[in-house]
A and B are shown apart, each in its own frame.
Chain A
Amino acid sequence: MNAMSQIVEPLPLLRVTRLTKAFGPVVACRNISFDLYPGEVLGIVGESGSGKTTLLNCISGRMQPDEGEVAFATRRLGLTDIYNLPEPDRRRMQREEWGFVHQSAREGLRMRATASANVAEPLMNMGGRHYGRMRAETERWFNRVELDPARLDGQPRLFSGGMQQRVQIARNLIHGPRMVFMDEPTGGLDVSVQARLLDLMRELVRDLGLAVVLVTHDMAVARLLADRLLVMKQGDVVESGLTDQVLDDPQHPYSQLLVSSVLQI
């Protein structure tokens, strides 16, 4: 077969179609559609209350939208509406094919378990029953996210904020997910820690070829990590496009406002 003769359209990993979610009279997401392709990082930016987090919750299977469809290309079934999957299948898909990095490590980690147990848990969820191999893999990931292996069996509650986020990132990548959701992953960290964490995440995302949906209000984070941006305002996507294009030449007045309000030093 001659590969040159045909152009293969890559299939999207995630397809969101006309998604709408309202809380009473307040419409948090209105008629939102987009595709996400493997290896792509999509940033969702906007101010507080613009519907970013609601959109993230809807597309990550944690909150059913009022209207519209969220389809994910599962390994077993192909592109499927995740809200039509039976609950056990959906939970399994969330566990095995997705990761979710929360803004607060408290939400994403078992604070009563040790750091290495937290990182190893997805392996056990996927059926890992060999302690030695899981331990070695955990150590490898500790090194990879630049955590001190001496802290393997430390309590995450005794870790610094940046270290907790690293534990969370390792926990969400160790099982080889294809898509990772991140909700303000660097929020609440001081700038120098933020910069190092961003650097690390950029490297991991590129190395692993992950698809990422990144919610942030920080334009610098979006600039560094995202390939493409959705700008949200009051539940609407007001502008979308390549990150550099949106940030360098914003078209919508609101995007212009967002970009111009970034502090310059």
Chain B
Amino acid sequence: MNPQKSNQPAQQYSYAYLDEQTKRMIRRSILKALAIPGYQVPFGSREMPVPYGWGTGGIQVTAALIGPDDVFKCIDQGADDTTNAVSIRQFFAKVADVATTEDTSEATIIQSRHRIPEKTLKQGQIMVMQVPQPEPLRTMEARETETRAMHAYEEYGVQYVSLYQSVAAHGRITIGATYPVMVNERYLMGPSPIPKFDNPKINQSEAIMLFGAGREKRIYAVPPHTDVRSLDFEDYPFEVQTWDEICALCGSEDSYLDEVVLDDQGNRMFVCSDTHHCSVRRDAGHAGPLAGHALGSAKEAAE
């Protein structure tokens, strides 16, 4: 549990994998990002022992912050038990000697890419998001020099062009993930590809939200109690996804649901994407239509 032991020759890695100078550099970028909410701070992204696209940005942010007293949770698509989540959790358990958990309220650092947990985050918690493409304007403007100027001068009209096209083509705003937001009414920000369902959770959150893009070498942040507004039109207001179904296992009506195909007969079920949220509800006695009897076989059928 003592971080000093990283200096002992028997230890293969520095504490939390990155060397101390790198972690200081990343911490400086994080502080700057927190000071300018939504602004993309460049940082010297390092080679990590996983490929780009597997969470290198998030891992570096976590490595710079994590200490032996932290409790670490890692989710992938809301689930604690998927390959990527398990690997990253084991990685930090090994190189940073931290306790790990699946319990959202227990965790001090939660690393994720696609979801923000259903349970409301509290003061003292840090959400670390892995970001593939930090620049929300990129699809409309390819030049980095130009997008930087657009951020500097708050020229965000172009972002509405994509919303406009979406309404023109489909009669509603169809962007489902990476839905652009204004942070503190100043910087336009693309949340990591979380569903727009999770956008309201960033607004005025008590927890710190950090975003790390390893390949693109950018860190940005939303400090606690910051206004985050999803872009929309006056006559086409922002709205989150809704489902006609409830969670088949825990009966939840208000969580983000994944569709799971059960067989080749067209049967399917909808289950909470946040596995911890779902299991807590089941333990508390909530039950959905498929709860209890067929859980094992339903899961097998799904796989």
Cα separation A135 to B167 with both chains bound (whole Å)? 10
Q: Mark A58-95, 1 if CB is under 8 A from B, else 0.
A: 00000000000000000000000000000110011001
Residue of chain B at shortest CB distance from A113: B161
A88-B140 in contact (CB<8A) = no
B161-A129 in contact (CB<8A) = no
Q: Mark A98-132, 1 if CB is under 8 A from B, else 0.
A: 00000000000010111011001110111111111
- Residues of A contacting B161 with CB < 8 Å? 110, 113, 117, 120-121, 124
- Residues of B contacting A87 with CB < 8 Å? 149, 153
Residue among A91, A95, A112, A129 with the highest chain B CB neighbour number at 10 A: A129
Cα separation A130 to B233 with both chains bound (whole Å)? 5
Secondary structure call for the B interface: helix
State the interface size on chain A (CB cutoff 8 A).
27
Q: Is there a chain A Cβ closer than 8 Å to B243's Cβ?
A: no
B233-A113 in contact (CB<8A) = no
Q: Is there a chain B Cβ closer than 8 Å to A249's Cβ?
A: no
Beyond A91-B153, A129-B233, A130-B235, is A135–B168 a contact (Cβ under 8 Å)? yes
Residue of chain A at shortest CB distance from B165: A117
Cα separation A88 to B164 with both chains bound (whole Å)? 25
A126-B157 in contact (CB<8A) = yes
Interface size class of B (residues with CB under 8 A): 10 to 19
- Residues of B contacting A35 with CB < 8 Å? none
Q: Is there a chain A Cβ closer than 8 Å to B169's Cβ?
A: yes
- Residues of B contacting A221 with CB < 8 Å? none
* Among candidates B149, B155, B234, residue contacting A130 with C-beta atoms closer than 8 Å: B234
- The minimal Cβ–Cβ distance linking A89 to chain B, given in whole angstroms, is 9
Secondary structure call for the A interface: helix
Q: Mark B139-169, 1 if CB is under 8 A from A, else 0.
A: 1100000000100110101101100110111
Which residues B166-180 have CB closer than 8 A to chain A?
Answer: 167-169
Q: Is there a chain B Cβ closer than 8 Å to A215's Cβ?
A: no
A91-B155 in contact (CB<8A) = yes
Q: Is there a chain B Cβ closer than 8 Å to A47's Cβ?
A: no
* Among candidates B139, B167, B234, residue contacting A129 with C-beta atoms closer than 8 Å: B234
Closest 3 CB pairs of A and B: A125-B157, A88-B153, A124-B160
A/B interface sample: 16 pairs, CB < 8 A: A88-B153, A91-B149, A91-B153, A91-B155, A113-B140, A116-B164, A117-B165, A120-B161, A130-B233, A130-B234, A130-B235, A131-B164, A131-B233, A131-B234, A131-B235, A153-B165
